[in-house]
Structure 1
Amino acid sequence: MRIETNNRTSGVGKGGSAGRSGSGVDFIPAGGEAPARVASAAPMAGMTGIDAILALQAVDGPLEGKKKSLRRGRSLLDTLDEIKADLLVGRVSVGKLDALVGMLAEVRERSLPDLDAVLDDIELRVRVELAKFGRFPAA
């Protein structure tokens, strides 16, 4: 499709009379004759943006807490399975029991009362087994 127009644009690059000051009067701002001094600008803090980004990255997202809880729960269940296998054989590793006491201290979230009750029972059983070896970890 071809568009033809009869109007030609002429004089686009030529200056009109509006751009020229033929009257000899220059533009003067209304505030006075001398330009106002600009106050010196305060130095910009360039690291502020980077610090804010790093701080946001350090904050865990809503899914990160779930992932951590799942990892801790899985490692706790794996350790319990190892201790169960040791109990069935007749030998219990004191190191695994100590590790389990430490893991139980980390797992507590105090948000689910039923889960906390189960963890209390597990911790009691672990402390009984450690007491059999003469070990009494701090509560």
Structure 2
Amino acid sequence: MAYTRGNLAVKEKTAERGHQNPRYRETTKVVTRRSSLPVKEKLLYMVTILFCVAVMGGLLWQNANLYSIKREMYNLDTEMQTMTVEVKELSVQKEKLEEEIPAKAAALGYVEQQEGFHIQVPSNSQATGPVDEVTTAKK
């Protein structure tokens, strides 16, 4: 006996006809209807998806901030390296200029003093009295 649409008590149609070839072929199609989701379940799914999107957005924002900080650090490091090279070049240039000072001073007529320094007190001062002498002090 055939199993037709969930019922075993139905006779086969080919048996009733006496084994004749049918003019047409009967086909059955199973149609299943999906029931729609309840509103609460839809809201639950929507809230879950929004939460996941918010977490991903937060992670992206944090990652973007870290990238910008790392980029700034890299830029500062390269800037420090260029400044260090520039400082070294300027210190070498300073040393060269310091070596040239005595030669240029001699060319301009300056004389290097041997000992001490001279203090000349003008005669207009009213300290304890007029002093017209030059004092020399040693270093």
TM over 0.5: no
Give the TM-score normalised by the residue count of structure 1: 0.30
Give the TM-score normalised by the residue count of structure 2: 0.30
Q: Point out the structure with the larger strand share.
A: 2
> Per chain length, whose mean CA-contact separation is higher, i.e. which structure has more relative contact order (CA < 8 Å, sep 6+)?
1
